[in-house]
Amino acid sequence: MTRYSRDIPFLGPFDVLVCGGGPAGIAAAVTAAENGANVALLEQNSYLGGMATGGCVNPMSEFSYKGERVIGGFAWRFAHELIKANGAILEEPRGNLSFNPEIYKLVAQRLVNQAGIHLLTNTFIADCIFDSDMLHQIIVANKNGLQAVSGRYVIDTTGDADVAFHAGVPMLPNTRPAQPGTLIFSLANVDTTTPRMHIIHQKNNHIHHSASFIRELFEKLRGEGVDVPQFGGPWFCSTVDDGCITVNMSRAPMDAVDALNYQHATAQLRENVFRFVSLLKQHVPEFKNCVISSIAPMTGVRQSRRIKGKHILTGTEYLEATPFADSIARACHPVDIHLPGSDGQILHYPETAAYIPFRSLQPEGVSNLLVAGRPISADEDAFAGVRVQATCMETGEAAGLATALCVKQGGIPLDSLDLTEVTSKIREGGTILP
Ligand SMILES: Cc1cc2nc3c(=O)[nH]c(=O)nc-3n(C[C@H](O)[C@H](O)[C@H](O)COP(=O)(O)OP(=O)(O)OC[C@H]3O[C@@H](n4cnc5c(N)ncnc54)[C@H](O)[C@@H]3O)c2cc1C
């Protein structure tokens, strides 16, 4: 152990500090700023979007359940901004949105800038200063060196609950191995015009689909002794440009919050991507001339930390769509468990779109912190549904709204906030709540 001590510059104070600029963080920051708060947004990458852009995770799932749209608000507005910028296609009836990640970065950056947010990119959150139940400052590192940033309220949207972890919030244990990591890659020059490839690219009637003919082929090749690494799907998705698709198929067991384990898994996944592309070129005519146009700069993390919050959303509550007095978001995705160590996936479909209570965003023990997006307080089954992007944006929006309303009321504790105003504003935005 080494003890390290020095004086470092101080930034702020801000009303609301949003930590992490992925789907949840963009929604939280823009919502808080548009509701009057002075907001800073901290992001380690040089661009916004998190898994959606850095991880090339496509599509944004999902706005509707059995054809009924239940998610509105910021997520729906963002989807329409992307469509308006010719950067996305909406697939009905599930309401999945296929998008171009570069246009996503641009649209997100414009919204954040228009909202007057103090955006610091290339800025890594490394620690925090807290006492018994309050988070005071976030310690960041960037080209200026170490700095301390303070916010009256903090929203952790790092996807991995980094801030909550540094502040000593208890995390929920995993009772089974975490879902695997995936390195998504993009291909150009794919022949998407043949009938079987129409499942992945139909302008005006876009469908995102698991390509079962390739799964069958790869299983057959493996049976013949060909080296086929572990894979999921494969799931193909349009990036809106002709002949260009994203491919979600590599998978490896991964502990995303252990630096060395993450590096080893990423190295394995990168090897596997090149193997898959070589097999596709060799065995599938539509891929004969394909080229790798990019490999996601961030390794796709399905599962890492989950906080222990005031309510732990359970898989049963998720699947039965239990309504809560403090419901602030809906989730339409099935409980979607990708199995590490195999090619398998388990899906359980809810009776109707699930509800997420505000208490699942409130970590135990830190009164001015909310956690939104992937790591909210949910058991492993409920987590496997709430982790998708439209729902992450919704929990981000709720956190942004709640903190901005606390600011308007003179800096009251989050626990004292009457949630009626939060839920009625979310309803006004078009999300269907009980
Ligand atoms: C392979 C794969 C397939 C998926 N498929 C789908 C799908 O089909 N549809 C769907 O909707 N969702 C899908 N998901 C899930 C979805 O992409 C994520 O769960 C979602 O993006 C989580 O959003 P978030 O904002 O909580 O976190 P993230 O998207 O992870 O964003 C977190 C942000 O915080 C930043 N950050 C993290 N730590 C720090 C730090 N210490 N300092 C500074 N910045 C930091 C990151 O750079 C990032 O920008 C998939 C995920 C994976 C991995």
What confidence tens digit (pLDDT) does each residue in 28-67 have?
999 999 999 999 999 999 999 999 999 999 999 999 998 8
- 157 Cβ below 6 A of ligand 1: yes
Q: Is 299 in the pocket of ligand 1 (CB under 6 A)?
A: no
Phi, psi of 21 (to 5 degrees): -105, 40
Expressed in angstroms and rounded, the spacing between residue 409 Cα and the centre of ligand 1 is: 32
Taking the whole predicted model, whether its pTM rises above 0.75 is answered as: yes
Query: What separation in Å is there between the alpha carbon of 103 and the centre of ligand 1?
Result: 17
Report pLDDT for 202: 44
Protein residue with its CA nearest to atom 48 in ligand 1: 50
CATH code, domain with 144: 3.50.50.60
Residue span of the structural domain in which 33 resides? 10-173+303-428
Look at residue 204 in the predicted model and tell me its pLDDT. 40
Boundary (domain end) residue, out of 276, 295, 314? 295
Regarding whether 337 and 270 lie in a shared domain, the answer is no
Is the domain of 255 the same as that of 393? Answer: no
Whether residue 126 is contained in a domain is answered as yes
Distance CA 197, CA 381 (A): 32
Q: What is the per-residue pLDDT for 243?
A: 87
- 358 CA distance to ligand 1 middle (Å): 20
Backbone angles phi, psi at 197, to 5 degrees: -85, -10
Q: Are residues 373 and 394 in the same domain?
A: yes
Are 18 and 117 part of one and the same domain?
yes
Q: Where are the beta strands (DSSP E) in 189-307?
A: 209-210, 231-238, 245-250, 291-295
* Ligand 1 lined by 388 (C-beta under 6 Å): yes
> Considering the domain boundaries, does residue 75 fall inside one?
yes
Q: Let me know if residue 152 belongs to a domain.
A: yes
Q: Are residues 192 and 161 in the same domain?
A: no
Residue-level pLDDT at 199: 53
Which ligand 1 atom sits closest to the C-alpha of 140? 42
Looking at the fold, whether 113 and 201 belong to one and the same domain comes out as: no
Q: Output the residue whose Cα is nearest ligand 1's atom 39.
A: 158
pLDDT at position 210, please? Answer: 64
Measured from the CA of 25, which atom of ligand 1 is nearest? 25
- Residue 214 is classified by DSSP as H
pLDDT digits (tens, 9 = 90+) for 107-131: 999 999 999 999 999 999 999 999 9
Residue 23 Cα to chain centre, angstroms: 6
| pLDDT of amino acid 198 | 65
Gap from CA of 313 to ligand 1 centroid (Å): 20
Q: Is the CB of 30 under 6 A from ligand 1?
A: no
Coil, helix or strand at residue 22: coil
| Residues 224 and 308 grouped into a single domain | no
pLDDT for res 343:
87
Domain contains 3:
no
Q: Are residues 85 and 213 in the same domain?
A: no
Whether residue 154 sits in one domain with residue 18: yes
Q: Quick one: 226 and 270 in the same domain?
A: yes
Which candidate, 139, 16, 29, places its Cα nearest to that of 373? 29
Residue 369 lies in a domain: yes
Please tell me the predicted confidence (pLDDT) of residue 197.
78
Q: Look at residue 27 and tell me if it is in a domain.
A: yes
Best residue for ligand 1 mutational test, from 31, 42, 57, 120 (most atoms within 8 Å of Cβ): 57
Give the sign of the dihedral formed by CA 240, CA 245, CA 249, CA 250: negative
Tell whether 331 and 379 lie within a shared domain. yes
Which residues of the chain are under the pLDDT cut of 50?
Answer: 201-207
Q: Which helix (H) or strand (E) holds 80?
A: helix 73-84
* Residue 142 DSSP label: E
- First vs last C-alpha separation in the chain: 51
Integer Cα distance of 267 and 242 in angstroms: 30
Domain boundary pick from 270, 295, 320: 295
**234 and 330 inside one domain:** no
The total of structural domains in the chain comes to 2
The reply to whether 2 falls in a domain is no
Centre of ligand 1 to C-alpha 22, Å, is 6
Write down which residue in 246, 279, 295 finishes a domain.
295
Alpha helices in 254-388 (DSSP H): 259-283, 315-320, 380-386
